[in-house]
Amino acid sequence: MKKLFLSLIALVFLVSFKPATTRIITGIVTDGATVLPGAAVATNNSKQVVATNIKGEFSITVTNKDTELRVSYIGYVNQFVKIGKGNKISINLIPDSKSLSEVIVAGYGSQRKVDMTGSVSSSSVSSALQGSLPGLSIGRAKRSKSLVTRNDESYSAINENTFHEAKNDPLSTFSIDVDAASYTNVRRFINGGNLPPVDAVRIEEMINYFDYDYEQPKGNDPVNIITEIAPAPWNNQHKLVQIGLQAKTIPTDNLPASNLVFLIDVSGSMNNPNKLPLLVSSFKLLTDQLRAKDKVAIVVYAGNSGVVLPATNGDEKTKIKDALDKLSAGGSTAGGEGIELAYKIAGENFVKGGNNRVILATDGDFNVGANSDLEMQKLIEEKRKSGVFLTVLGYGMGNYKDSKMEILADKGNGNYAYIDNLTEARKVLVNEFGGTLFTVAKDVKLQIEFNPAKVQSYRLIGYENRLLNKEDFNDDKKDAGEIGSGHTVTALYEIIPIGIKDDLSGSVDDLKYQKTSKVKSADSEEILTVKLRYKEPSGNKSKLLVKGINDNTLGFNATSDNFRFAAAVAEFGMILRKSSFKQNATFEQVITLAENAKGKDKEGYRSEFLSLVKSAKLMAKDLLSIKDKLIMNEEN
């Protein structure tokens, strides 16, 4: 009787239960005259958050339990919009009169804050601290009557890695990469309702955006090597090899003293709420992490460059923040001149055995002085000889120059992150403070040797812009990547085992004079050998680590969360890149893999990844639907 009663209760509950239904709302956010790219649109119940694209447009999934949208943008009053029955919404934000009426300063010359779009007029900078700095100017313009958008972003072309035959080409050599800018930029596109350009998708940076639970180094070396092997989820006849690096975590209190120079772009292209105001807020977060033994100087550049704050102790936080608050944007972009001055200031305050670093914050739109990619590369290669490291923080959209900033970070002993909101700024400059700013090993290179008795062919997934010649591995003059305190680095190889039909790699004739290995490859249980070289942060001679990896392939479901989540991100990247090697990759499989490999996910980054994949899946479906309709119209 009791069981019957409980069954009736369960039946009543099931009948009365109504699952939440979803629908997609699209819209545009403006201030009545200008579109607002990068505005945050959030639901009140399901907590979905998206950002508007460069046209001010957004697309967000809402449930029947969501009753309103919260729309926010730096410099504007937050607006709460009721969700009605319609699926399209136009939202006009009102400027925050309090913040817009504040007095702001170009360098140290003050004037009233005015509209933040359009052309610029020049104003000279007074000699309050460092003497006259002509050319730093504030934007002054009337609003355009029509909605203004701009899209001339630039990305370096990526020639996707192909498969290599192990018997003829057994060595794969590359520089590590701890940058994560590509993932944040991809997120910006998807949250704004667009799939990213294929060359904006650098798979290694997407993978390395996330932390992995690797074992800390136990010996004297600052880096530990971790590996796993399992079937590739997009082709279970192939194998996927994960090579993980874990840098030693140094407690913040034990980190050496810092000599930092904030190099801030205040040119006219930074004259948008999602650029300079967000940049200033980001650097205030970083300022809060500084200690009394740290020092900070601030250099700005526009038409000219100048020092607006000399080296100041890290405990003088109010003084540092006041200097940041006085910055405004206007004028052209003398990026090369700014870099020269920032490295000069860093050199004058150099701390032996400390963390000497320039932190460049810009949209990358250099247009005065050294501005070509090659010129900037030569300049930064020369400056890295000083022992000063570089961190590049990218901001903005529409004219974003990813190609330039990637080169600066790669060639300047540095790292590169894209900041699209304060949450990301907190991740990079607070949560990952040590990893972003404190290098524990520099010029880190990996060289993988594949056993041709077990590996027919192999492909490195991503790292196309980090490939090295095999001779570069032992050449200590060859620059490579840096790894910071607590950082993880992950690389994935797809392997086609011996005996599996290979339609993905080209074939060449057997080598007539190929040397035989010192170890008979057929007698070895090793599938590959990992070799790693690194230098101490202030060293010039590299150290070698070697680890042989046996062919101990696991079942895919027996692998760690680290392995399965990295595989999901790689698969998503291949889909977005429309890779020739994505094979059986699908959005559905990516979602399943990621859902089952979220792990602890303390900060919610992996859950956010799932939301991105689901949004991208909907967008891709819509694009296919539009394409089919166009084909049908052409046929009719």
Regarding whether 298 and 264 lie in a shared domain, the answer is: yes
267 and 180 part of one domain: no
Q: Note the pLDDT of residue 132.
A: 29
> Is 216 found in the same domain as 363?
no
The residues, any chain, with a CB within 8 Å of residue 549's CB and separated by 6 or more, are 227, 229, 241, 526, 527, 528, 529, 530
Task: Yes or no: say if 217 and 78 are a contact pair by the CB < 8 Å rule.
Answer: no
Q: Which long-range contacts (CB under 8 A, 24 or more apart) does 436-439 make?
A: 436/391, 436/484, 437/258, 437/260, 437/355, 437/357, 437/359, 437/391, 437/484, 438/250, 438/255, 438/256, 438/258, 438/355, 438/484, 438/485, 439/355, 439/389, 439/413, 439/482, 439/483, 439/484, 439/537
Do the domain assignments include residue 78? yes
Residue 104's pLDDT is 32
Q: Is residue 101 part of a domain?
A: no
Mark whether 229 and 288 lie in a shared domain.
no
Q: What is the CATH number of the domain that holds 78?
A: 2.60.40.1120
Q: Are residues 345 and 447 in the same domain?
A: no
Are 216 and 291 part of one and the same domain?
no
Is 86 inside a domain boundary?
A: yes
- Residue 97 located in a structural domain: no
In a domain, 114, yes or no: no
Task: Please indicate, yes or no, if residue 634 is contained in any of the structural domains.
Answer: no
Residues 244 and 262 in one domain: no
Give the CATH number of the domain where residue 395 resides.
3.40.50.410
Q: What is the pLDDT of residue 381?
A: 80
> 296 lies in a domain?
yes
pLDDT at residue number 476: 95
Residue pair 486/442 in contact (Cβ under 8 Å)? The answer is no
Task: Look at residues 92, 118, 138 and tell me which one is the last residue of a structural domain.
Answer: 92
Pair 307, 410 in one domain:
yes
Regions of the chain with pLDDT less than 50: 12-17, 98-150, 368
Q: Are residues 185 and 315 in the same domain?
A: no
Of 37, 72, 92, the position where a domain reaches its end is 92
82: which residues sit within 8 A by CB, 6+ positions away? Answer: 67, 68
- Please state the domain count of the chain: 3
Question: What pLDDT, on the 0 to 100 scale, is given for residue 384?
Answer: 79
Classify residue 65: in a domain, yes or no.
Answer: yes
Domain co-membership, 71 together with 205:
no
Range of the domain at 270: 253-434
Domain boundary among 64, 92, 120: 92
**Domain identity same for 417 and 452:** no
Domain identity same for 463 and 403? no
